[in-house]
Chains A and B, each alone.
Chain A
Amino acid sequence: MDIKLLFLPVFVSFGFSFLNLLFYGIGRNIRKYLSIFGSLLVLISSIYILKYSVALHSSTLPNWENLSIFFAILISAISLFCIIYSQWYNPSANFVYDSLFFLFTGSMLGVVLSGSLIYFYVFWELMTISSFFLVLYENTEESKNASIKYIVMTGAGSIFLLFGIIGVNFIEKGIIWKHLFFFSIFIGAGVKSGLFPLYSWVPETYPSSPTPISAILSGLASKMGIYAFIKFYFTIFQPGWSIAWENLMIITGMITLLSGVLLALIQHDIKRLLAYHSISQIGYIFLGIACGTSIGLCGGLYHLLNHSIFKSLLFLGAGILIKMTHSRELEKYGRFSSILPFTFYTFSIASLSISGIPPFNGFVSKWIICQALLEKKTGISIFAMIISLLGSALTLASFIKVLNDAFLGVGKGEIKEKINERTPLIIIPFGFLALGCIVFGISPSLVINKIFSPIIGSIPTLNIKLINFISFWGYLSILVLFAGYIYLSRQTRKFKEKKVFVGGENIPKEITDFDGSHFYKTVYETNGIKDFYEIERKGLFDSYRISEKLFNFSSRISNKIEIFFSDVIYQKGREIILFITEKFRTFQNGLLPRYIFWIMAGLIFIMEVLKRW
């Protein structure tokens, strides 16, 4: 395989990044086309390298070339949609933004396409640095804090990953070595993808970065952690090399899933909410991969693909709402379905997908993950499956809140900026992404045969007939949905208001009407869950803040140690020397006889020495 040609998308991306820097003076209109054209070219070159995909040679391991190409096409497609959208969202963006965007995309492509680990790490760090500047791009107070948190956490994570990469050569030296290297890789990949105790940068960074960047960060960059983890776990450490780690991974995935979705339930900020959902979905993906079986890997990868599609769609949709109201608060939205029907439909498709409602893609992948967990047949994995079902239900609850608050609902949103959603810059990305949600949902057997079988090999235990049956059901339900669309498109444009009478008394609207977010206060006040929220509010899950405190504490102690040693070595040494010289001063008191005495004594001493020699 020609390694140079495999890097073609990376070269194209970096080339356009450089072009944007070179022609920094050209107008916004030309740059718009340059960027879209460049991104399209990246996608074409990613599809072009498909011809380097190789036939399956092993039935148990993932096939690296094909996995890389799968990731490359996913990355270039999503980033194409994001850059089309970003021409509408951020029309005044300067050349730095576009250049960094291509650098970011190119480095992600480099991460997945590089064969050697040192290239992998170089691109990994480039990805971290370029995304840091993209997060910082808006230069608000919030984004400054968030970007520092982001770079510090992911930077520390990637140094841990570096230790794992170095460890590849030393893995056979002992069992403690293996555990420590696995721990490093777990931390490194976990920070990037946002696993349970390490996700605290996620809910800060996604909201404060520009919306297309949050879509990419959530849809693609967090998947790089998963990719790195698959890469190390399935080749260097064989799956199942340690039962303890496997159980720990399933537990981590479970907690990530549940804590993400529980925290998402009480959010008011739409992007923060989506960020917490992103954490929870990563938990699903991680559960699938932690199984270590081919069906688990298939489920994980399928969910990864689906999550990239619907999460970027959700973020882009949120961007429209933000741009319209200049606010991220859900309370400021309401009844936008009449103004933004297209956004409403696509957003609801994505919401249903993320909650795992049957005809859409989220359902299929969650199904496969649940099956993988069941096949594991350990107590923890069965429990994890139950938790994942619960998580799915809570996700649906959360997204009903969003749909209700933003598009339907009682409140009336205040429109600060008029939005025309009927531009190709919105319709193309939204349309394709929503189509992806449907297509990957109703034809799972096709997707598994065409995309995942070349990567993973045969999946013996996967009941493809059952999934086919469900997809048939899905075709049917699409018809129902289409009918529903025709019905809804009439209904959603008008809002009916009914007066409320209690005991013949007309109750004012303010008392009877509630926002969705008010409704979810009951969730907050439920016993048991409330304790969880209280612990979170105290910041006990925030690994950043905890380690900051820890470091401050240890630096005070180290300072003490340092001052102590400085005293002992320098000050005490100085004092001792001064003390001795003080004593010597008594020898010379300025009287001549004493000097003569010392001279005589010295002479006698020297003569005595010479005599004996």
Chain B
Amino acid sequence: MILLILLLPFLGAFLRKFFPKRFSLFIATLITLIEILLIFYFVQITENVYEMKFDLGGILFIYDDLGIIFSITSCFIAFLIFLYSFGYFKEEKERDYFSFWGLIFLGSMLGVIFSDNLISLYFFWEIAGLCSYRLIGFYREKEHLLKADKAFMITVAGAGIMFLSFAYIYSITGTFSLSEMKGISVSPFVFLLFFIGVITKSATFPFHTWLPDASVAPTPVTAFLHAAVLVKIGIYGLLRIFWKTLTVEGNIVWALYLCIFSSLIAGIVALIENDFKKILAYSTVSQLGFLITGILTFNNTGISGSLIFYIAHALGKGGLFLTAGLMEKVFKTKDITKMGGVMKNMPFLTFGYLFSMFSVIGIPPFAGFFGKINIIMGVLKNHLLFAGFFLIISSILTLLYLWRTFKYVFIFENATSNFDFNYKGSKIMTFSILTLGLFSFLIGIMLFFVKGGIFGY
């Protein structure tokens, strides 16, 4: 029965064939909604069971607390993105493709989450790469296809190196099953092999350049890549294999410093970029560096900070990207210096954007703040003072470039030409942006009042 959560996106993607094309997006939205309800239902009925195992043709799947966090976030964001694309793809015929590949994308993410087996994890990991290839080159123009090539080649090469580490793990443990190899320690070399796979997928320096280039895709796709699915797979893999299952014997501080360096350099580059979506893409690279740093501390505070920040970043970055898409439709350009005056004309959108922005910057009581503070405390707990200080610098950079976008797009007014702010379908788009913003606020408030906001102390 619980397999339904895993299979539903795939089923839905092919079910779409039996209906007229104009219903396809509607079906996708409906399926993500059912998915959310199903997950809630299963969490309800299996209250005290933290691990559910089930079989599918001899392959074991597992569903535990980590999986619940990741699957519910991904499905929720995917639901809002599908809702948003009703407005975005209003005049385009390709919405059919989008709903198909989007559902497969979500399904592959769920597959990675459910896998108890390194082989099936690798399988779904590559399916996600395939979907990203098709979706980045969405309009099939030559330039777009080159960029899709780049994304695909880098992630697949990384996954290939990661597969070497799986082989290595197999040679040590003699099994591919994750639940059987629990507690075994491996050398830093194996970790390095796996880590290359993670940082290619999660776009960390020096393998991050495909992510800013991928911003040529339509906005719901980029939101999928950044917020819901693709880059989060790497984080999930790292958490699943090196936090839940294996331990590393040896010093891996270099990986932490690499992530911090990535976070800083992407933040600095975002300061001079003018393309709205590229700024946000560099911001994602920067925040992912932050996030992986938190995981690599491997203590309670850092990991819980990373989990909170994962949710906050998914919600916040989703909101920011969806706003960028709406702006693209309104102003017919991606250059932020040519936009302006949105604050006056679209107050609700402004609220949604601001809330998402505050969450990503880390302003209390929004969710991102509790993530960031826990990550920094986790880093300091490991006696890494300057790493913590660099993370502070990284969040200052976040503040600088996000307020820069806010300044150009929302506050300043562009007197040169008149814009039509009543873009058809902007209502449903604004609704999903505002929902994302409100959720990052609500989760922050919940953490603040229920748990006190600081974990592991």
Binding site for B on A (CB under 8 A): 118, 121-122, 125, 129, 136, 144, 147-148, 151-152, 155-156, 159-160, 162-163, 166-167, 169-170, 173-174, 176-177, 180, 184, 551-552, 554-556, 558-559, 561-562, 565-566, 568-570, 573-574
Closest residue on chain B to residue A163 by CB atoms: B392
Known contacts A555-B271, A573-B157: A122-B448 contact under CB 8 Å: yes
Q: Does B364 contact A (CB under 8 A)?
A: yes
Please give, as numbers and ranges, the residues of chain A lying within 8 Å of B197 by CB-CB distance. none
Q: Which 8 A-B pairs have the closest CB atoms?
A: A566-B209, A565-B206, A122-B364, A558-B268, A555-B272, A555-B268, A163-B392, A555-B271
Q: Does B150 contact A (CB under 8 A)?
A: yes
Majority secondary structure, B binding face: helix
Majority secondary structure, A binding face: helix
Binding site for A on B (CB under 8 A): 150, 153-154, 157, 205-207, 209-210, 265, 268-269, 271-272, 358, 361-365, 373, 376-377, 380-381, 383, 385, 388-389, 392, 395-396, 399-400, 403, 407, 411-412, 448, 452-454, 457
Distance to closest chain A CB from B77 (angstroms): 25
Bound together, the chains give a CA A121 to CA B358 distance in angstroms of 14
Bound together, the chains give a CA A406 to CA B205 distance in angstroms of 60
Distance to closest chain B CB from A136 (angstroms): 7
Please give, as numbers and ranges, the residues of chain B lying within 8 Å of A559 by CB-CB distance. 269, 272
The answer to whether A562 and B271 touch across the interface, beta carbons within 8 angstroms, is no
Distance to closest chain B CB from A148 (angstroms): 5
The answer to whether B268 and A551 touch across the interface, beta carbons within 8 angstroms, is yes
Please give, as numbers and ranges, the residues of chain B lying within 8 Å of A163 by CB-CB distance. 376, 388-389, 392
Please give, as numbers and ranges, the residues of chain A lying within 8 Å of B205 by CB-CB distance. 562, 565
Please give, as numbers and ranges, the residues of chain A lying within 8 Å of B412 by CB-CB distance. 144
Bound together, the chains give a CA A163 to CA B358 distance in angstroms of 17
The answer to whether A162 and B268 touch across the interface, beta carbons within 8 angstroms, is no
| A155 CB contact (under 8 Å) in B271, B272, B385, B399 | B399
The answer to whether A551 and B400 touch across the interface, beta carbons within 8 angstroms, is yes
The answer to whether B271 and A159 touch across the interface, beta carbons within 8 angstroms, is no
Distance to closest chain A CB from B135 (angstroms): 20
Bound together, the chains give a CA A166 to CA B157 distance in angstroms of 40
Bound together, the chains give a CA A562 to CA B271 distance in angstroms of 14
Which of A129, A565, A568 has most B Cβ within 10 Å? A565
Can you list 19 A-B pairs, Cβ within 8 angstroms, ordered by A? Answer: A118-B453, A122-B448, A129-B358, A144-B407, A144-B412, A156-B396, A156-B399, A156-B400, A159-B395, A160-B392, A166-B377, A169-B377, A173-B385, A180-B385, A555-B271, A559-B269, A569-B154, A570-B209, A570-B210
Closest residue on chain A to residue B444 by CB atoms: A122
Please give, as numbers and ranges, the residues of chain B lying within 8 Å of A566 by CB-CB distance. 206, 209
Please give, as numbers and ranges, the residues of chain A lying within 8 Å of B154 by CB-CB distance. 569-570
Bound together, the chains give a CA A174 to CA B271 distance in angstroms of 34
Please give, as numbers and ranges, the residues of chain A lying within 8 Å of B457 by CB-CB distance. 169
Bound together, the chains give a CA A155 to CA B362 distance in angstroms of 10
Distance to closest chain A CB from B457 (angstroms): 8
Known contacts A163-B376, A555-B268: A122-B150 contact under CB 8 Å: no
Please give, as numbers and ranges, the residues of chain B lying within 8 Å of A144 by CB-CB distance. 407, 411-412
Distance to closest chain B CB from A331 (angstroms): 30
Known contacts A166-B377, A551-B268, A562-B269: A159-B206 contact under CB 8 Å: no
Known contacts A118-B453, A155-B361, A160-B392: A552-B272 contact under CB 8 Å: yes
Known contacts A177-B385, A570-B209: A159-B396 contact under CB 8 Å: yes
**13 additional contacts, CB 8 Å, given A125-B363, A558-B268, A570-B210?**
A122-B364, A144-B412, A155-B399, A156-B400, A552-B272, A555-B269, A558-B265, A562-B205, A565-B206, A565-B209, A566-B209, A569-B154, A574-B153
